[in-house]
Amino acid sequence: MRQVKPKRGCEDENRISASRISFLVWVYDEQHTAMARRFNDPLLMPDTDEQPKERLAKAACLAGTPGQTYVERRGIFVSVADEAGVRFDADFDGRPAVLVPLRDHADNLVSVHGRYLHNVRHENKMLTIGQGGGVINVLGGWRADPLILVEGLFDGLSLAMCDLACIATIGRWALWLPEIAAGRTVYLGFDASKPGEADVAEYSKRLKHSEIHRLLPPARCKDWNTALRKIGRSALTKWLHSQLVSSGVTHQPAL
């Protein structure tokens, strides 16, 4: 049977169309999910192909595990970590880790974030699995006013030690944040570093319908967990509340 080859013009049109689609996808990713795409998070647990929900369900409560020792060494009460949903997994892709759920605006579990208890050279400190689009909610998370955003799990837990609600982004972007933040006072409590300031600039642009304030850790402290361990819970609590009061905001926990 004679094969009919497509005309050269058709091949060129198809190639152009495919390139155009690829370009549009790239633009969408750049504009809407750039921060989320810093990391190539697997959808499922490596090797076992477990869903985030399945993996989290297998994890143990912190009490009596190496996870308890780990969070306490970082100045966090087990009760505070428990309330945030932190659990312990003895074999999270080969190493022990504390796990925490990331949820979307409807409280659906979309990802699980693991922070390894130890790591050596060239080993990752963290592993996140799932589709993305969620945050770590601490003490009510995004439902509390003012809305406070921080970077990591232990930043969020450190603020919880001071009775402040917040959400931890772990460097990912959730598309629904502008909607729930619109018309509200938002404090950006990212790290006192160049990457932290880059996040502040990016979130300030994206949350354009919010009243944005910068919330820096105390002097000589890169992040909130460093501050908690360096100056202590009482001093950090007073310092945080003084920053909120100086901006004319009274913190109200979520109901």
Nearest to 77 by CA among 136, 163, 145: 163
Same domain for 160 and 68: no
CB proximity list for 158: less than 8 A, separation 6 or greater? 75, 76, 224, 225, 227, 228, 236
Same domain for 86 and 141: no
On whether residue 28 sits in a domain, the answer given is no
10-residue mean pLDDT series, the chain (255 residues): 44 43 39 54 95 98 98 98 98 97 97 95 93 96 96 98 97 96 97 96 97 96 98 97 75 53
Contact (Cβ atoms closer than 8 angstroms) between residue 132 and residue 36? yes
Sign of CA dihedral 164, 127, 89, 230: negative
Same domain for 225 and 144: yes
On whether residue 33 sits in a domain, the answer given is no
Q: Read off the CATH number of the domain in which 165 is found.
A: 3.40.1360.10
E-only strand ranges, the chain:
87-92, 95-103, 109-116, 126-130, 136-138, 147-150, 166-168, 185-188, 211-214
Total number of domains constituting the chain: 2
Domain that holds residue 197: 135-245
Contact (Cβ atoms closer than 8 angstroms) between residue 149 and residue 187? yes
On whether residue 66 sits in a domain, the answer given is yes
At residue 21, the pLDDT reads 36
At residue 120, the pLDDT reads 87
Three-state SS for 89? strand
Nearest to 136 by CA among 98, 103, 107: 103
On whether residue 229 sits in a domain, the answer given is yes
Same domain for 107 and 177: no
Contact (Cβ atoms closer than 8 angstroms) between residue 168 and residue 153? yes
On whether residue 122 sits in a domain, the answer given is yes
Same domain for 149 and 104: no
* CA dist., res. 41 & res. 137, Å (int): 20
At residue 153, the pLDDT reads 98
